[in-house]
Amino acid sequence: MAGVVFGLGMARAGVPPGTEAGQAAPPSAHLSPANLSRDNWSPVSVSRDGRVGPYVPLARAVHPWRICALLPGAQDKFWWGVSWGLVREAERLGVVIGVYQAGGYDKLDVQKAQLDACRALMPDAYIVAAITSDGLDAQVAAIADGGRPLIDLINGMASPYVTAHILGNFRENARFGADYILEHRVEWERAAGRPLKVGWLPGPKGAEWADAMEASALAVLRRPGVEVIHGGYGATGMTTQMDLVRALFDRVPDVDVVFGNAVAIQAAANYLRSRHDGGTHLVATYATDGITDLVRDGTIELAVSDSPIVQARIAVDLAVRALEGRPHGVWNVMTVDRLDQARLAGYDLSRIAVPEGERFQLRALPPLGAPLGPPLGPSMLPGGPSPAGVGGPPPGWGS
C-alpha cells in the first residue's frame, strides 16, 4: 500500500489476542445511569491489546472531524442502541457523524454501495460494523491507502488495514450461555425424564459474531447425552427468526431449551406464550431492552450483555484518537456480563437500551465544507436514489 497502513492482522478472524475461548473475560464495570450521560460515561473496564484496565475517553476533539458510520441493519434493536451511542458520543466530543444502515445481513451489496458513497463524501474517518468479516476488504485497503482511519465496530473485520477494533468477546457470550445450560442440565433432564434437547439459533451465516458464537456454543454443548438441534441460519429480523422458531418446534416439539440470538429468543418467547407453554427454557447470547424485560419477568432465564452502547461510544473515541495521533489500543474488547433476574436488578441498562421514545438514529453526513448546524435527517447519500435502508423507517422491523 502506498499510503498509511493502520492496524494489525487477525490471529483468527474476530478473536483478539488474549481472548481465546475459555479465557476469563475482563472484570465487570457497572455504571450508574448518571455516568452514562452525554457528558460523562467513563471509566469502563476494557481489555486493550490483552491488558485489562479502565478506558477513559477524551474530553473533547480538537477539530469537528467528519465520521461516516455504517451498520448492518435496524431490524434487531441491538443496533438501535449502537446508533444511539454513536450519535451521543459524537455530540459529546464535538464531531460530526453520519449513520447509515444497510437493511439487514443479506444486504452486503448495499453496505458496499454505502461505503463507496461515504468515500465520495471524503470523511475524516470511518466506523464500520461489517455484514461479513471479509466482504469489504478491498474498500478497507483503499481507505487505508488514502491515510484515513477505519474502526471495526462489534462485528469483526479480518482486514489487516483496520486501524482499531472495539469488539465484544463473542466466544465468551456464547460460552456463558452454554455453561449456564450445562449447570442446569441434571435438573432439566430430571424434569423431562430423558436426555437434554437444546435448540440452537445462531443468527446469520457468515457474520463473524454469529460464526464465532456458534463455534464456542457447540464446543461446550456437544457432549454425550446432550442433543443439539440446529434451528438454521437467518437474519436477525423478527419475521425471519419467528419462521425458524416455528420450524424448530414443528420438527422437535419437545425441545427443552432454546438458545441463540436475542431476536430468536424473543420470537421463541412469543411463540411459547401463544402455546401457553411455560416448560421450555430460554437463553440469549446477547441482550437488548426487549430481552431484559423478559429476563426481569422470568420468561428468559439468562442473557449475556456486551454493552453495545458503550462499544459504540468507544468506537467514536477511537476514531478521534486515531485522527489526532493520540494513543489507543488496536484490539479493544468489552466486558461480558451474565444477566439473570438477580443480577439484572443492579445492572445499568443504559449500557444496552436507548432512552424511552428513541429509535434508530439515522444521520446523513453533511458534504465537505457544509456549514455545521442541526443534524440532518435520514437523507440520501450522493449519487442518485438512496440505497435500501438509508432513508425512511427501518425496513422489516417487527415487534
pLDDT for position 395: 28
Task: Please check whether residues 253 and 205 belong to one and the same domain.
Answer: yes
- Do 110 and 201 share a domain, yes or no? no
pLDDT of residue 32: 40
143 and 201 share one domain: no
* Residue 34 or residue 52, greater confidence: 52
Q: What is the mean pLDDT of residues 258-285?
A: 93
Regarding whether 297 and 209 lie in a shared domain, the answer is: yes
**Is residue 347 situated within a structural domain?**
no
Whether 348 is in a domain gets the answer no
61: left (phi over 0), alpha (psi -120 to 50) or beta: beta
Residue 359 pLDDT grade (very low, low, confident, very high; cuts 50, 70, 90): confident
**Residue 98 sits in a domain of what CATH number?**
3.40.50.2300
| Domain annotation covers residue 19 | yes
Question: What is the layout of strands, in order, in the sheet containing 226-230?
Answer: 226-230, 196-201, 257-260, 281-284, 302-305, 337-339
Q: Where in the sequence is the domain holding 149, given as residue range(s)? A: 1-169+307-335+354-399
The reply to whether 69 and 183 lie within a common domain is: no
pLDDT tens, residue by residue, 154-190: 999 999 999 999 998 889 999 999 999 999 999 999 9
The C-alpha atoms of residue 89 and residue 104 are separated, in whole angstroms, by 24
Residues sharing a CB contact under 8 Å with residue 274, sequence separation 6 or more, in sequence order: none
Does residue 301 belong to any structural domain of this protein?
Answer: yes
DSSP 223: S
pLDDT tens digit sequence for 312-347: 999 999 999 999 999 999 999 998 899 999 999 888
Are residues 207 and 184 part of one domain? Answer: yes
User: How confident is residue 16, by pLDDT bands cut at 50, 70 and 90?
Assistant: very low
Instruction: Let me know whether 256 and 359 are in one domain.
Output: no
Shared domain for 279 and 315, answered yes or no, is: no
Residue 109 lies in a domain: yes
Quick check: is 342 in a domain?
Answer: no
Query: Are residue 73 and residue 193 in the same domain, yes or no?
Result: no
Question: Same domain for 38 and 153?
Answer: yes
Q: Are residues 181 and 103 in the same domain?
A: no
The amino acid that residue 251 corresponds to is R
Residues 6 or more apart in contact with residue 184 via CB below 8 angstroms: 281
Within this chain, do residues 56 and 119 fall inside the same structural domain, yes or no? yes
Average pLDDT, the chain: 84
| Interaxial angle between packed helices 289-296 and 262-274, expressed in degrees from 0 to 180 and rounded to the nearest 10 | 50
In a domain, 366, yes or no: yes
Query: Cell digits for 290?
Result: 426487549
Domains in the chain, number: 2
Residue 346 domain-assigned?
A: no
